[in-house]
Structure 1
Amino acid sequence: MKNIINKIGVFTLACFAFTSCETEDDNTGASLLDYSPATITLSSSSPTTFDESAIDADVASTYQIEVTATLASSQPVDAVIDLVQTGGSASASDFSAHTITIPAGSLTASATVDILQTGDIEGSETLEISGKSRANFNVSPFTFNATIENDYINDHLDLTLSWDGSAEDGDLSIMSFCDMDFDLVLYDESFTALGYVLGSSACPEEDYLNGLSDGTYYLVSELYANPYSDLGFTDVVPLTLSWSQEHFDTSGSLSSDTTTLSTAAGDQGALIVVLEVTNGYNYTLSPFQ
C-alpha cells in the first residue's frame, strides 16, 4: 500500500511541475518579445538661420527647428528619440531641445528645438542637431545645421516703486498706504524733466524704461496725492525703488525714510537715484549725493 501511495505522490508532483512550466510568465506582456530593430528616419524643413533679436515670445513657433521622425512600419512599442546637440558653437542656454515619441502603432511624430533669447553678446553662433534613439531602434544618419545671428540685447530696465504700509494712532488706523500716489519722473543731466517713467495710480508702480542715449539721468520720486496729510500721522512711508534687467546682473534697490504720512502732495525729491547709461543698454544706478 505504501508503494502505491508513493507512486501516486510522484505522479502528482510530476503533473504539478509540468503544469507550472506551461503557465509561467502568463502576465509578462510584450517585455519578452524579441523585436528586430526598426529604423527611424528623421527630417526637417525648418529655416536654417534665426534672428535672435526678432524672437517674439508670443510667436515662439517662428523660432523653432521642427524635426519629424518616421517609421516604415508601425511597431508594438513607443519609439523615443532625443534631439541632441552634436556640434556647433551655441551653448546650452541658446536652445531647448525636446524629445520625439512615436506611439506604439503609429508611423510618425515630431518635436522641436526652440531657439532662445539669451541677452548675451556672443556674435553669430552655429548649432548642429541630431537624433539619438532610446531602446531597440536604429536612426538613419541625420544632422540639422542652423545659424543664430543678430544677438538679442535686452535694454529694458524694469522698475518698481513701492510704499505700502500701515499705521495706527489711538482709535484711528490706516490699513494701507496705497491710497497715496507716488510717481517717478525722469530728468536729464541738467535736471530738466523728460517725463514720467512711473505715472499711474497703481500701488506698487511697475514699468520699464529703455531707448535712452548714453549719459547721466536722474529718477526722482513725486508724491502726487496724499489723503492722509491732514490726519496728524507722522509715520514714515517706506518708499523704495527697485530695479532689474533680465539677462544682466543689473539689480538692486534704494529706499528713502524722509516721506511721512503728513507730507503734502506735490513734494518731490524724497528719493533721487542717479542713472548712468552706456552702450544704450548698460545701466548703473546709485544714490544721489
Structure 2
Amino acid sequence: MSTDERWIDENGDPIDEDHRGLVYDIRTLVDRRRALGIFGGIAATALLAACAPQTTGSEASEAPQGAPGGAPPAEDDSDLLEGEVPNETAGPYPADGSNGVNVLDDSGIVRSDIRSSFGSSQTTAAGVSLEIVLTVRDAATGSALAGAGVYLWHCDRDGNYSLYSDAAKDENYLRGVQQTDEDGTVRFTSIYPACYSGRWPHIHFEVYEDVDTAVATGPIVKTSQIALPEEANAKVYATSGYEQSVRNASQVTLTGDNVFGDDGGIHQIATMTGSVSGGYTAALTIAV
C-alpha cells in the first residue's frame, strides 16, 4: 500500500507515525472513531436481530384462533343421502336435557296443540294461528316413517323461548311431541313465531325412533329446522303484536342466515297456505 506523500521526507522515505505531528494524530483519531461507529452500529443491528423472536412462515400467516363472534362449527352433512334434510343446530333453547332444562320427561308434553303451557301454568301464547304439518320419510327408501317421535318447538310472538327467556321462564308453551301416523305425518297447532334479531323465522324439530325414545331423552335420529317463507312472514308481521318482527325481518335474508344460508334452505322451506284472518298451514316433507 502506498504512503500519502504528506508523510514522506525529502529523501523519499516514509516518516515514522510517532513524528508526523498533531494534524496526523487528530485525523487518525477521527477516522478510528468513525470506523468504530460504523462497526458498532453493524454489531448492534446483528445483536438485535439475533435476540428478536423468530417467526416461521406458517406462524406468520396464521390468523388468531378463538376470536369472539366466530361462527359455531358447521354441522357435518358429509354423509347425507340425496334429498335428506340437513342436520342443523338445536340452538340454545331446546329443553331436551342437552342444555339444562328437560321438558321431554314432563307429563303432558305429548300433545298436538302446543299453544298453551301445561302443568302449573295454563298461559296461552298469543299470535296468528299456525298449523304445522311435518311428514317424515326414510331417506334411503323413500317410504313413510310411521310411528316415529317428533319433538317440535319455537319462540313466541315476542321472540321468547319458554323455559329460558326471562319473560317466559315459567312457561312451557310452544313445545310438544307427536307420533307420526301411517303416512309419516305429524300435526301441531301453534302460533306464528316471531322474527328475532339475527335469524330468519324458523321452527326447530328433533326426530326420534318413537315417542317412548323421545320422552326418555334417547338417541336423536335427526335435528333440523323449518324455514318460514318470506311472503307469509311479511303478512303476519304487519299485524298487531308482531311490530318488532318487522324491523328484525328487514335486517335478515334467507341466504344470509347462519343456518339456511349455505343452500338457501332448499330442503327446509315450508309450503304455506291460508291467511292472517283464517290462520296459516306450514307443510314440509323431510327425509331423514
Query: TM-score of the superposition, structure 2-length normalised?
Result: 0.29
More helix by share: 2
Structure scoring higher RCO (CA < 8 A, sep ≥ 6) equals 2
Return the index of the structure with the highest Cα Rg: 2
| TM-score (normalised: structure 1) | 0.29
